[in-house]
Amino acid sequence: MKMRGQGQPEKSAAGSDSQAGNVAASGEPQALAAENLRLRDEIDRLRAQLMAAEALADRDTLLPLLNRRAFLRELNRVVAYARRYGEAAGLVYFDIDNFKFVNDTYGHAAGDEVLKHLATAIIENVRETDVVGRMGGDEFAVILARSDEETAHAKARSMAAMIAERPLVFEGVEIPLSISVGAISFTGEEEPAAMLARADLAMYRDKRG
């Protein structure tokens, strides 16, 4: 009887351990689900940060336009599409006439405002499928999706006319603006560098009159 009584607590302890194990086991799936949810949230947060950083790296430091690197990447993409499907696209290249005179006469703050003014005007007058980039300094380029030679030239002329009609008013002073512009079309036979050179040459010819 005494020995039997001594064995009873051991049986009770084993039962307690079993119950505790069951409780712990039942909590494990919930803890695992919570941890998985936390990890997914962390991955989503990091992915969003990466996308934001990539978008920031693509943007010009002053203007709401693509920088040269990002623009060239998009141009390569459009060239590959044109080469594959034989669909023409346009490339417009332009710079601001007498931009150095603006900086020297009105100051670099005015020059920055001219660039912003121009960028806004261009963005408002292109399609969502078109791509606008700042190539450096006061030089800009626009990729015109699904555009032949005639359409590209017509767009270039309309852009030049539009800029001429929209002077910048800076600190109460009206600053007249004009651009020299060149336009070409392509279907993928050329490399992007050769296309940019051809558009730049067309712009230079326009500048010389």
* CA dist., res. 154 & res. 177, Å (int): 20
138 counts as catalytic:
yes
Measured in degrees and rounded to the nearest 5, phi and psi for residue 42 equal -65, -40
* CA dist., res. 2 & res. 37, Å (int): 54
* CA dist., res. 99 & res. 96, Å (int): 6
Catalytic residue, chosen from 60, 97, 138, 200, is 138
Strand 89-96 relative to strand 173-175, pairing? unpaired
* CA dist., res. 102 & res. 110, Å (int): 7
Positions marked active-site: 138
